[in-house]
Amino acid sequence: MSFIGNIPIFDISQDWKIFKSRLEQFVKLNKIEAGDKSAVLLTHLSDEAYRLARNLVYPSELEATTYENLVKKLDDHFTPKRSSFADRAKFYGASKGDGESVETWAARLRGLAVYCDFGSELDTLLRDKFVLGMNDGPERDRLFEMDLATTTLAKALEVAQQAACARQAKAVLVKQEPVYRMAAGNSGRGHGASGSGSHFEARQADGAGSVNQRRCTLCGLKSHSEEKCRYKGYKCQKCGAKGHLKRMCSDKKVHNLHNLCSEGSAVMEDQDVHDCKECNLFNLRVSN
């Protein structure tokens, strides 16, 4: 005879209540007759658990013990006496853990309330503890705005989930947006000293959190690539070659003006205002 489903062998280190519940469902599903229930239970006990069952029914014979009596003996053995006050202390002292989802927090609270004997007050106490045990943040702020008279645990859980989703979505959007930083140099006056003056730096973080600091090889700025550089068609005033500015010329005789933009300031040729943000902010003229 084949059975529908299966149950594991029970060992004394396992949870007896879980095993008993699965055993009862197995018996019900397979329509096992009352006289055979005891045999099904005994054949799913480990050697140590079988020995324990025999000791519990002694001096009666284990094989002659009814299913109901055998289950009662095992229930009494594996269900220790509990203190309702101790269980309630654990319930009242619980709080949502860091990184714990609101769904897991609600389920954990229900588990802590199993042995608290709250009776008809269970739903109210679960709702109150769910809200008051939340960490500081948008979820708790939203819950505190709700009407106590109409708020249930299910409604509180729904609102907390919505607030959590909104917070996570906002964090993703903020991470993807570029961050512009204005940094001040040693001095806000003059342009002859290297590293002086303020600069405007656009930093765009990629998925790994790295920042693109590469400069355009045609004009020396960091706000664009060579393909988008306005000066890719300009003629160098030093070497006469087309495609770069004088300060980016490779001719070693050129007076090195690159220091003037090493911190992000743009020293421009005698041209019109550049169309990139960095150039527009620092459009300086230097006399040779």
- pLDDT tens across the length of the chain (288 residues): 678 888 999 999 999 999 999 999 999 999 999 889 999 999 999 999 999 999 999 999 998 999 999 999 999 999 877 788 999 999 999 999 988 999 999 999 999 999 899 999 999 999 999 999 999 988 999 999 999 999 999 999 999 999 989 888 887 776 665 555 554 444 444 444 444 444 444 444 444 444 446 788 878 887 788 888 888 888 888 888 888 788 888 764 444 444 434 434 444 443 433 444 444 544 544 444
- 203 near 211, Cβ under 8 Å? yes
Closest CA to 127 of 115, 146, 135: 146
The structure tokens 């009814």 sit at 66
Q: What sign does the CA torsion over 189, 195, 198, 199 have?
A: positive
Say how far apart CA 65 and CA 47 lie, in whole Å.
18
pLDDT at position 151 is 94
pLDDT at position 204 is 44
pLDDT at position 178 is 57
pLDDT at position 118 is 93
Instruction: Count Cβ atoms within 10 A of the Cβ of residue 253 and give its class: 0-12 exposed, 13-18 middle, 19 or more buried.
Output: exposed
Closest CA to 229 of 216, 211, 245: 216
What the block records as the tokens of 76 is 């009494």
pLDDT at position 254 is 42
pLDDT at position 265 is 41
pLDDT at position 9 is 95
pLDDT at position 181 is 54
Element of type H or E holding 157: helix 153-176
pLDDT at position 179 is 53
- 267 near 247, Cβ under 8 Å? yes
Say how far apart CA 250 and CA 236 lie, in whole Å.
11
